[in-house]
Structure 1
Amino acid sequence: MSEVRIVGIDGLPEVGAGDDLAQLLFATGAELADGDILLVTSKVVSKAEGRLVRATDREAAIDAEAVRVVARRGRTRIVENRQGLVMAAAGVDASNTPSGTVLLLPEDPDASARTLRKRLHELTGKRVGIVITDTFGRPWRNGLTDVAIGAAGVSVLEDHRGRVDSHGNELALTVTAIADELAAAADLVKGKTSGRPVAIVRGLAHFVTEEDGDGVRPLIRPAEEDLFRLGTSEAIREAVHGRRTVRSFTAEPVDAGAVRRAVAAAITAPAPHHTTPWRFVLVESAVARTRLLDAMLSAWNRDLVELDGWDPDRVARRVRRGDVLRNAPYLVVPCLVMDGSHAYPDARRAAAEREMFVVAMGAAVENMLVTLAGEGLGTAWVSSTMFCRPTVRSALDLPASWDPMGAIAVGRPAAPAPSRPPRDPEAFYTVR
């Protein structure tokens, strides 16, 4: 039978800035043994490190500690803080602190854990592990639990991949968050109101390491692997701001399902008269794409020379912009249909009627571009099909009532988009 004991440490006095936390723990008379793991509430570490600050505005303190808003509902904010942790209010705590003050998380919880471990070894000669904890909420689950935000001398993850279960099945995905399990278990004896901020876990010495290790960094999922990094509104905002025109793609095939999901988003756009004026031609075959682009190139060359009088070099430079369509792994040709539009004998009102439908088409295209960005795909909307609509309809065998409204190149970006300074929205609106 294996046994694990969790013991709360009583007798720790109120901690103040500059206090030697290890000495205060040693003075409680708690007996430490080699292989023990100490779970320490971050609040006492922060107090010892002087992280109690004057702040009449807690929201301003959260702003100072946050680097990115992940989700927001009313006054509640889930943010990524400067320590790289995603949590409510950046860990800024206004409870159990004097009026007009807030308590910030330790500046570097891993460094705090290393310092505490070293000092306890100096005082006791024992090899222990340290986990600094804080309280987190969890997506999809009610209730709070403690998790590890700093660690030293503890294996924070246990990788079971490659092992075999009791039925002989090889485990392929299981990696256990040992430090978080320790934090949650220890909180059962620490509690939230008991005034007992430290607990000892005994019986798991095999998780205690000789070296301090990498701290909690291995527990934090990299952004590129995090499927749940953004809340709904933030995901939309991120996709909108992150949507950039991409002109160079990898050869990786595009998931046709992702494009179909983008079409489903596109057709939620507003439209006049309860119509559905959008059609999308998904050019998935190489034969169809080559036929389309060769026909368009021929039409462009003819029109630019015969109608516009351009010289061959200028024509070559202009049509070279179409290379983004030829080199992309996937093309979409959005088309406008005027079914359900009102017929007006007056040219002015007839033009306005068509403009309403064009606006609806633009909204659908933007929905598509943003959704594809959310799928991790790059896009480039190119207007060229609008200048040779009969050619496009012929090449793609489309009804005469379908008006091509450009083309969208889709693919995995070959390189990150260059940075672009944010535009000042005040330059784009007028208040009356």
Structure 2
Amino acid sequence: MSGEVSASPASAGDEGPPSGVPGFRVWALPGLPEVRPGDDLAKLIASTEPGLVDGDVLLVTSKIVSKAEGRIVEAADREAAIDAETVRVVARRGPLRIVENRQGLIMAAAGVDASNTPSGTVLLLPEDSDASARAIRDGLRDALGVEVGVVVTDTFGRPWRTGLTDVAIGAAGVRVLDDLRGGTDAHGNPLSATVVATADELASAGDLVKGKAAGLPVAVVRGLPHVVQGTSGEDEGTRGMVRGARDDMFRLGTSEAVREAVTQRRTVRAFTDEPVDPDAVRRAVAAAVTAPAPHHTTPWRFVLLESAESRTRLLDAMRDAWVADLERDGKSEESIAKRVRRGDVLRGAPYLVVPCLVMDGSHTYGDERRDGAEREMFVVAAGAGVQNFLVALAGERLGSAWVSSTMFCREVVRDVLGLPEGWDPMGAVAVGHAAEEPKARPERDAGAFIEVR
């Protein structure tokens, strides 16, 4: 946005930009009293005689919204309050934590604020900032008869940039995003990725005049009526400004990245038909082959089944071998059909990978015990490679399921895929985009798996 910015309180009658020149004005709203729990913010703002007109945008600091809504809690330990508001730790350095909070916002300390609040208490963010913005907007309409937009703001740090800025965490009656995709620029070039965060731009403009310590928690923007939405239709709020996990390229933090990737890796049983990027799979293989292995060997091979024909041919041959085994075991047709259906996870995936173990570089001792231990070392290394592979796929935002079925018919797999005799298939990995969110994993107490001597 371009235009004039008034950096001091101004009256509603002051002149705006010259006629015909794009621009807007922003000023802090003076005269607002100290906000206390239970206060009606719309009435407090109206009592200052703000001179609001249709099309204005009101920028309200979240702190006074939280105070009015009674989001002040007793907390001798601020860290405990942060824990209670945290959904996920993104990064940690010393006492500083960057977290995802209950509203889906990624910010320091979950937005828990210990400043400008009585000793022994902390201030939490509004529980639903969009609803708070709607209440203020509706209250101003009732009190003053004006149609304005409202943005609730809070202060954020930003990755790779020094300094803080205000952003929108709640909005009502404001077009929060301006999607320019599908249009063209001044040179006729297509715009394919341009979505402007209008609400954030408004929030930062307001912070220029509100300041952090000036005691001016509300600002007004005038001259941008096109960003204000009417009362008809659904109010979008700021929900669409929070990037979903699936599209977030930077979801993982710093030292927590590996741990988060490991814990977020889940077995996916149903996939969409969205194609898998072969380069993403190859990057995952590159991560897999960094696993530890005995004697400086490389005991992993990954067979990538990228064509539907190769997948179908392998799975049909495996099914036939499995059915023959079950018939020899005396299983009924119903039991066989039920068991075979369990293999549908592989058939429903748009991409299959068959990890194989090779014993190249292994030692032979001529002793059954030592030779058995030697193979076990290689099997453990193969498992480590597959685990790396699965975690790397999760980092690529690909779902996976490691199924052991190829281990029961290795000769069939080697024959169908034309693999060397020394390659031992170690299951098959179904790869694709999850059709639905996996079910929550049951909590596991790490202590139950630990013995200390």
| TM-score bracket, shorter-length normalisation | 0.7 to 0.9
Which residue, 174, 193, 201 being the options, matches 1:154? 174
- Amino acid across the alignment from 2:360: D
Q: Distance in 2 between matches of 1:209 and 1:130?
A: 10
Check if 1:49 corresponds to 2:69: yes
- Among 192, 210, 213, the alignment partner of 1:190 is 210
Q: CA deviation at 1:61?
A: 1.0
Task: Give the deviation of 1:23 after TM superposition.
Answer: 4.3
The match for 1:408 is: 429
Determine helix, strand or coil for the equivalent of 2:208: helix
Paired residue secondary structure (1:338): coil
Q: Which moved more, 1:256-265 or 1:161-170?
A: 161-170
| Correspondences of 1:105-254 after superposition (within 5 Å) | 105-211=125-231, 213-231=235-253, 236-254=258-276
- Secondary structure in structure 2 of the residue aligned to 1:362: helix
SS in 2 for 1:372: helix
Q: 1:53 to 1:337 in 2, by over 3 A?
A: same
- Quote the Cα distance in structure 1 between the aligned partners of 2:315 and 2:139: 71
Distance 1:15 1:164, change over 3 A: same
- 24 and 386 in structure 1: CA distance in 2 versus 1, 3 angstrom threshold: closer
Aligned to 2:363: 342
Please, which runs of 5 or more residues in structure 1 have no aligned partner? none
Change (3 A) 1:359 1:150: same
Count of residues in Structure 1 that have an aligned counterpart in Structure 2: 429
Q: 1:391 to 1:225 in 2, by over 3 A?
A: closer
SS in 2 for 1:342: coil
Counterpart in the other structure of 2:380: 359
Identity across the alignment (%): 69
Q: Could you tell me which amino acid in structure 1 is paired with residue 332 of structure 2?
A: D
Offset of residue 251 of structure 1: 4.5
Please point out which of 281, 304, 327 is paired with 1:259: 281
- 1:58-69 alignment, distance < 5 Å: 58-69=78-89
- State how far apart, in whole Å, the 1-side matches of 2:147 and 2:307 are: 65
Residue 272 (structure 1) aligned with residue 294 (structure 2): yes
- Across the aligned residues of Structure 1 and Structure 2, the Cα RMSD in angstroms comes to 3.0
Once residues 389 and 289 of structure 1 are traced to their aligned partners in structure 2, the CA distance between those partners, rounded to angstroms, is: 15
Equivalents in 2 of 1:294, 1:125: separation in Å? 71
Query: What amino acid maps onto 2:429 in structure 1?
Result: I
Q: Which moved more, 1:175-184 or 1:276-285?
A: 276-285
Q: Take 2:404 and 2:40, find their aligned partners in 1: how far apart are those partners? A: 68
User: For each residue in 1:9-36, what CA deviation from the matched residue of structure 2 results, as whole angstroms up to 9, or x when unmatched?
Assistant: 3343332223343444445454433332
SS class of match (1:371): helix
TM-score (norm 1): 0.86
Give the deviation of 1:7 after TM superposition. 1.5
- Structure 1 residues 289-298 or 3-12, which shifts more? 289-298
- Cα distance per residue 1:282-341 (max 9 Å; x no partner): 233455445545555565566677xxx522637945666555445543332222222232
Matches within 5 A, 1:1-12: 1-12=21-32
1:241, 1:194 → 2: CA distance? 44
In the aligned structure 1, how far is the partner of 2:277 from the partner of 2:102?
36
TM-fit CA distance, 1:203: 1.7
Distance 1:82 1:134 in 2: 15
Q: Work out whether residues 235 and 374 of structure 1, in 8 Å CA contact, stay in contact via their aligned partners in 2.
A: no
Structure 2 contact 252–261 (Cα < 8 Å) conserved = no
Please tell me whether residue 310 in structure 1 is matched to residue 329 in structure 2: yes
Letter of the 2:294 partner, please give it: P
**Paired residues of 1:133 and 1:147 also in contact (CA < 8 A):** yes
Distance in 2 between the 1:209 and 1:297 partners? 59
* SS of residue paired to 1:53: strand
**Partner Cα distance (2:321, 2:54) in 1:** 81
Alignment of 1:372 with 2:393, yes or no, is yes
| 1:138 maps to amino acid | R
User: In 1, are the aligned partners of 2:326 and 2:336 still within 8 Å (CA)?
Assistant: no
